[in-house]
Amino acid sequence: MPFERLQLPLPFPHQPGYAASDFLPDDSNQEAMTWLSRTADWPDRRLAVWGQGGRGKSHLLHIWARQNTAVVLAGQTLSSLDGVPETGALALDDADTVADERILLHLLNTARDRSLFLLLSGRAAPARWPIALPDLSSRLRAITGVEIQPPGDDLLRALLMRMAADRQLKMGEAVQEWLLLRLPRSAGALREAVARLDHESMVCQQPITRSLAARVLDIEEIAASDAHEFSMAPEPPSSRLAGFL
Protein backbone atom coordinates (compact mmCIF):
# COMPACT_ATOMS: atom_id res chain seq x y z
CA MET A 1 0.00 0.00 0.00
CA PRO A 2 1.56 3.32 -1.02
CA PHE A 3 2.29 5.71 1.78
CA GLU A 4 0.15 8.87 1.76
CA ARG A 5 1.32 11.91 3.65
CA LEU A 6 -1.30 13.46 5.86
CA GLN A 7 -1.34 17.22 5.43
CA LEU A 8 -2.67 19.20 8.35
CA PRO A 9 -3.60 22.87 8.07
CA LEU A 10 -1.33 25.06 10.17
CA PRO A 11 -2.84 28.11 11.85
CA PHE A 12 -0.38 30.76 10.69
CA PRO A 13 -0.92 33.95 12.71
CA HIS A 14 -2.13 37.09 10.97
CA GLN A 15 -1.15 40.04 13.11
CA PRO A 16 -1.70 43.69 12.22
CA GLY A 17 1.49 45.54 11.27
CA TYR A 18 -0.18 48.91 10.70
CA ALA A 19 2.35 49.82 8.01
CA ALA A 20 1.63 53.04 6.15
CA SER A 21 2.10 51.19 2.85
CA ASP A 22 -0.74 48.79 3.78
CA PHE A 23 -3.30 51.54 4.34
CA LEU A 24 -5.67 52.06 1.41
CA PRO A 25 -6.72 55.71 0.90
CA ASP A 26 -10.34 56.22 -0.12
CA ASP A 27 -13.01 58.90 -0.12
CA SER A 28 -14.32 57.31 3.08
CA ASN A 29 -11.14 58.09 5.03
CA GLN A 30 -9.88 61.18 3.21
CA GLU A 31 -11.17 63.68 5.77
CA ALA A 32 -9.55 61.78 8.63
CA MET A 33 -6.25 61.58 6.74
CA THR A 34 -6.36 65.33 6.11
CA TRP A 35 -6.91 66.09 9.80
CA LEU A 36 -4.13 63.72 10.83
CA SER A 37 -1.70 65.44 8.46
CA ARG A 38 -2.40 68.81 10.12
CA THR A 39 -1.64 68.06 13.77
CA ALA A 40 -0.60 71.64 14.52
CA ASP A 41 -4.11 72.81 13.59
CA TRP A 42 -5.99 70.60 16.06
CA PRO A 43 -8.19 72.65 18.41
CA ASP A 44 -6.73 72.36 21.93
CA ARG A 45 -4.20 69.88 20.48
CA ARG A 46 -6.83 67.12 20.49
CA LEU A 47 -8.56 65.01 17.87
CA ALA A 48 -10.80 61.95 17.89
CA VAL A 49 -11.08 59.59 14.92
CA TRP A 50 -14.21 57.49 15.08
CA GLY A 51 -16.26 54.97 13.13
CA GLN A 52 -17.48 51.39 13.23
CA GLY A 53 -15.10 48.46 13.53
CA GLY A 54 -12.81 47.63 10.64
CA ARG A 55 -12.75 51.10 9.05
CA GLY A 56 -9.09 51.79 9.80
CA LYS A 57 -9.12 53.79 13.05
CA SER A 58 -6.35 51.81 14.72
CA HIS A 59 -4.31 51.72 11.54
CA LEU A 60 -4.44 55.48 11.09
CA LEU A 61 -3.76 56.03 14.78
CA HIS A 62 -0.59 53.93 14.66
CA ILE A 63 0.61 55.62 11.47
CA TRP A 64 0.11 59.03 13.09
CA ALA A 65 1.87 57.85 16.25
CA ARG A 66 4.95 56.75 14.32
CA GLN A 67 5.07 59.98 12.36
CA ASN A 68 4.81 62.06 15.54
CA THR A 69 6.85 59.82 17.89
CA ALA A 70 3.75 59.44 20.04
CA VAL A 71 3.25 56.99 22.88
CA VAL A 72 0.41 54.56 22.11
CA LEU A 73 -1.87 53.31 24.88
CA ALA A 74 -4.85 50.93 24.65
CA GLY A 75 -8.17 51.81 26.20
CA GLN A 76 -8.95 48.20 27.15
CA THR A 77 -5.90 47.99 29.41
CA LEU A 78 -5.58 51.57 30.66
CA SER A 79 -5.53 51.50 34.46
CA SER A 80 -3.07 54.25 35.36
CA LEU A 81 -1.20 57.21 33.91
CA ASP A 82 2.20 55.51 34.05
CA GLY A 83 2.59 55.50 30.28
CA VAL A 84 1.66 59.15 29.68
CA PRO A 85 4.74 61.06 28.42
CA GLU A 86 5.96 64.32 29.91
CA THR A 87 6.15 66.00 26.49
CA GLY A 88 5.32 65.32 22.87
CA ALA A 89 2.31 63.30 21.72
CA LEU A 90 -0.01 60.58 22.96
CA ALA A 91 -2.45 58.25 21.17
CA LEU A 92 -5.17 56.31 22.99
CA ASP A 93 -6.64 53.55 20.85
CA ASP A 94 -10.19 52.36 21.64
CA ALA A 95 -10.55 55.22 24.08
CA ASP A 96 -14.25 54.45 24.49
CA THR A 97 -13.37 51.13 26.16
CA VAL A 98 -11.57 52.63 29.18
CA ALA A 99 -13.20 50.96 32.18
CA ASP A 100 -12.54 53.67 34.77
CA GLU A 101 -13.92 57.07 33.76
CA ARG A 102 -11.74 58.76 36.37
CA ILE A 103 -8.60 57.46 34.68
CA LEU A 104 -9.74 58.83 31.33
CA LEU A 105 -10.57 62.19 32.92
CA HIS A 106 -7.15 62.35 34.57
CA LEU A 107 -5.50 61.44 31.27
CA LEU A 108 -7.25 64.29 29.47
CA ASN A 109 -6.32 66.73 32.22
CA THR A 110 -2.71 65.55 32.28
CA ALA A 111 -2.40 65.80 28.52
CA ARG A 112 -3.70 69.37 28.70
CA ASP A 113 -1.36 70.31 31.55
CA ARG A 114 1.65 68.86 29.67
CA SER A 115 0.60 70.43 26.33
CA LEU A 116 0.55 67.01 24.67
CA PHE A 117 -0.93 66.41 21.24
CA LEU A 118 -3.62 63.79 21.91
CA LEU A 119 -5.29 61.46 19.41
CA LEU A 120 -8.21 59.25 20.46
CA SER A 121 -10.05 56.54 18.56
CA GLY A 122 -13.50 55.14 19.25
CA ARG A 123 -16.56 53.60 17.64
CA ALA A 124 -18.66 56.73 18.12
CA ALA A 125 -18.01 60.44 18.42
CA PRO A 126 -16.75 61.29 21.95
CA ALA A 127 -19.82 63.45 22.57
CA ARG A 128 -21.94 60.28 22.27
CA TRP A 129 -19.96 58.05 24.63
CA PRO A 130 -22.09 56.88 27.61
CA ILE A 131 -20.30 58.83 30.35
CA ALA A 132 -21.48 59.31 33.94
CA LEU A 133 -18.91 61.86 35.14
CA PRO A 134 -20.09 65.38 34.19
CA ASP A 135 -16.53 66.79 33.98
CA LEU A 136 -15.43 64.00 31.64
CA SER A 137 -18.56 64.35 29.52
CA SER A 138 -17.96 68.08 29.03
CA ARG A 139 -14.32 67.53 28.06
CA LEU A 140 -15.24 64.84 25.54
CA ARG A 141 -17.91 67.04 23.96
CA ALA A 142 -15.25 69.70 23.37
CA ILE A 143 -12.97 67.36 21.38
CA THR A 144 -13.05 67.73 17.60
CA GLY A 145 -14.09 64.43 16.02
CA VAL A 146 -13.78 63.16 12.47
CA GLU A 147 -15.68 60.12 11.23
CA ILE A 148 -14.31 57.44 8.92
CA GLN A 149 -17.21 56.71 6.61
CA PRO A 150 -18.33 53.26 5.38
CA PRO A 151 -16.03 51.90 2.66
CA GLY A 152 -16.98 52.30 -0.99
CA ASP A 153 -17.13 49.53 -3.59
CA ASP A 154 -13.59 50.08 -4.86
CA LEU A 155 -12.12 50.00 -1.38
CA LEU A 156 -14.00 46.82 -0.44
CA ARG A 157 -12.79 45.14 -3.61
CA ALA A 158 -9.20 46.20 -2.93
CA LEU A 159 -9.45 45.02 0.67
CA LEU A 160 -10.70 41.60 -0.37
CA MET A 161 -7.85 41.23 -2.84
CA ARG A 162 -5.31 42.27 -0.21
CA MET A 163 -6.72 39.89 2.40
CA ALA A 164 -6.55 36.98 -0.05
CA ALA A 165 -3.01 37.91 -1.09
CA ASP A 166 -1.96 38.22 2.54
CA ARG A 167 -2.96 34.60 3.08
CA GLN A 168 -1.52 33.56 -0.32
CA LEU A 169 -4.95 32.47 -1.51
CA LYS A 170 -5.95 32.09 -5.12
CA MET A 171 -9.41 33.59 -5.41
CA GLY A 172 -10.84 34.19 -8.86
CA GLU A 173 -12.72 37.31 -9.84
CA ALA A 174 -16.03 35.43 -9.96
CA VAL A 175 -15.59 34.31 -6.35
CA GLN A 176 -14.64 37.81 -5.26
CA GLU A 177 -17.72 39.34 -6.89
CA TRP A 178 -19.92 36.63 -5.35
CA LEU A 179 -18.59 37.52 -1.90
CA LEU A 180 -18.89 41.29 -2.40
CA LEU A 181 -22.52 40.96 -3.47
CA ARG A 182 -23.55 38.83 -0.49
CA LEU A 183 -21.42 39.79 2.51
CA PRO A 184 -22.02 42.81 4.76
CA ARG A 185 -20.17 45.88 3.51
CA SER A 186 -17.44 45.88 6.12
CA ALA A 187 -13.81 44.86 6.43
CA GLY A 188 -14.69 42.67 9.41
CA ALA A 189 -17.14 40.56 7.40
CA LEU A 190 -14.65 40.17 4.54
CA ARG A 191 -11.92 39.20 7.00
CA GLU A 192 -14.08 36.53 8.62
CA ALA A 193 -15.14 35.09 5.24
CA VAL A 194 -11.56 34.93 3.95
CA ALA A 195 -10.38 33.21 7.14
CA ARG A 196 -13.11 30.57 6.87
CA LEU A 197 -12.43 29.96 3.19
CA ASP A 198 -8.71 29.71 3.86
CA HIS A 199 -9.27 27.08 6.55
CA GLU A 200 -11.77 25.04 4.54
CA SER A 201 -9.58 25.12 1.44
CA MET A 202 -6.63 23.73 3.40
CA VAL A 203 -8.70 21.06 5.16
CA CYS A 204 -10.39 19.85 1.97
CA GLN A 205 -7.40 20.47 -0.29
CA GLN A 206 -9.73 22.20 -2.75
CA PRO A 207 -9.50 25.49 -4.61
CA ILE A 208 -11.74 28.33 -3.50
CA THR A 209 -14.75 28.36 -5.80
CA ARG A 210 -18.24 29.82 -5.58
CA SER A 211 -19.63 26.39 -4.68
CA LEU A 212 -17.09 26.05 -1.86
CA ALA A 213 -17.94 29.53 -0.63
CA ALA A 214 -21.67 28.81 -0.75
CA ARG A 215 -21.15 25.58 1.22
CA VAL A 216 -18.84 27.04 3.86
CA LEU A 217 -20.16 30.53 4.50
CA ASP A 218 -23.26 31.25 6.51
CA ILE A 219 -23.90 34.81 5.36
CA GLU A 220 -26.50 35.49 8.05
CA GLU A 221 -24.16 34.24 10.77
CA ILE A 222 -21.31 36.40 9.52
CA ALA A 223 -23.61 39.40 9.34
CA ALA A 224 -24.77 38.81 12.92
CA SER A 225 -21.19 38.37 14.12
CA ASP A 226 -20.14 41.51 12.26
CA ALA A 227 -22.92 43.54 13.88
CA HIS A 228 -21.95 42.21 17.31
CA GLU A 229 -18.34 43.23 16.70
CA PHE A 230 -19.39 46.77 15.86
CA SER A 231 -21.51 47.15 18.98
CA MET A 232 -19.54 45.21 21.56
CA ALA A 233 -15.91 44.43 20.81
CA PRO A 234 -12.69 46.07 19.63
CA GLU A 235 -11.30 45.15 16.22
CA PRO A 236 -9.82 41.64 16.31
CA PRO A 237 -6.19 41.28 15.15
CA SER A 238 -7.01 38.43 12.76
CA SER A 239 -5.12 39.84 9.79
CA ARG A 240 -2.06 41.90 9.05
CA LEU A 241 -4.44 44.23 7.29
CA ALA A 242 -6.87 44.38 10.16
CA GLY A 243 -7.04 48.13 10.46
CA PHE A 244 -7.50 48.92 6.77
CA LEU A 245 -6.09 47.26 6.82
Residue 157 CB burial class (10 angstroms; 0-12, 13-18, ≥19): middle
Q: What is the pLDDT of residue 133?
A: 97
Is 231 a residue whose pLDDT tops 80? no
- Pair 73, 91: CB distance under 8 Å: yes
Q: What is the pTM of this model?
A: 0.72
Q: How confident is the model at residue 24 (pLDDT cuts 50, 70, 90)?
A: confident
Please give the pLDDT value at position 223: 61
The class of domain 26-147 in CATH terms is alpha beta
| Mean pLDDT score, 79-89 | 96
Show Cβ contacts of residue 211 under 8 Å, excluding neighbours closer than 6 positions: none
Mean pLDDT to the nearest integer, 17-29: 77
Strand order in the sheet with 89-93: 71-74, 89-93, 117-122, 46-50, 145-147
Q: Per-residue confidence at 21, pLDDT binned at 50, 70, 90?
A: low
Q: Domain residue spans in the chain?
A: 26-147, 153-232
| Residue 80 confidence (pLDDT) above 90 | yes
CATH classification (class only), 153-232: mainly alpha
Residue 43 has pLDDT above 60, yes or no: yes
pLDDT in the model for residue 226: 57
Tally of helices (H runs) and strands (E runs) in the chain: 9, 5
Q: Is the pLDDT of residue 50 over 50?
A: yes
Please enumerate in sequence order all residues whose Cβ is within 8 A of that of 187, keeping only pairs 6 or more positions apart, or say none.
54, 55, 56, 151, 156, 159, 242, 244, 245
In which band, very low, low, confident or very high, does the pLDDT at 18 lie, cut at 50, 70 and 90? confident
Q: Work out the pLDDT band at 2, boundaries 50, 70, 90.
A: very low
For residues 213-233, average pLDDT? 62
- Average pLDDT of 230-239? 32
Asked whether the predicted pLDDT for residue 5 surpasses 60, the reply is: no
Question: Residues 106, 81: contact at Cβ < 8 Å?
Answer: yes
Instruction: Using alpha carbons, select from 57, 58, 60 the residue that is nearest to residue 20.
Output: 60
Q: What is the mean pLDDT of residues 15-22?
A: 64
Tell me the DSSP string of 205-229: T--B-HHHHHHH--HHHHHHHHHHH
Beta strands in the chain (DSSP E): 46-50, 71-74, 89-93, 117-122, 145-147
What whole-number distance in Å separates Cα of residue 15 and Cα of residue 129?
Answer: 28
pLDDT for res 245:
34
Other beta carbons within 10 angstroms of residue 193's beta carbon come to 22
Q: pLDDT digit string (tens) for 128-168? A: 999 999 999 999 999 999 999 988 888 889 889 988 998 99
Reported as a single tens digit per residue, the pLDDT across 117-130 is 999 999 999 999 99
State residue 100's pLDDT score: 97
Residues 94 and 234: beta-carbon distance below 8 Å: yes
CA–CA distance, 121 with 6 (Å, rounded to integer): 46
Mean pLDDT score of the chain, rounded to an integer?
84
Q: pLDDT tens, 60-70?
A: 999 999 999 99
Q: Given the DSSP bridges, would you call strands 46-50 and 71-74 parallel, antiparallel or unpaired?
A: unpaired
Find the Cα–Cα–Cα–Cα dihedral 196, 197, 201, 202, rounded to 10°.
-40
State residue 243's pLDDT score.
Answer: 34
Amino acid, single-letter form, for residue 105: L
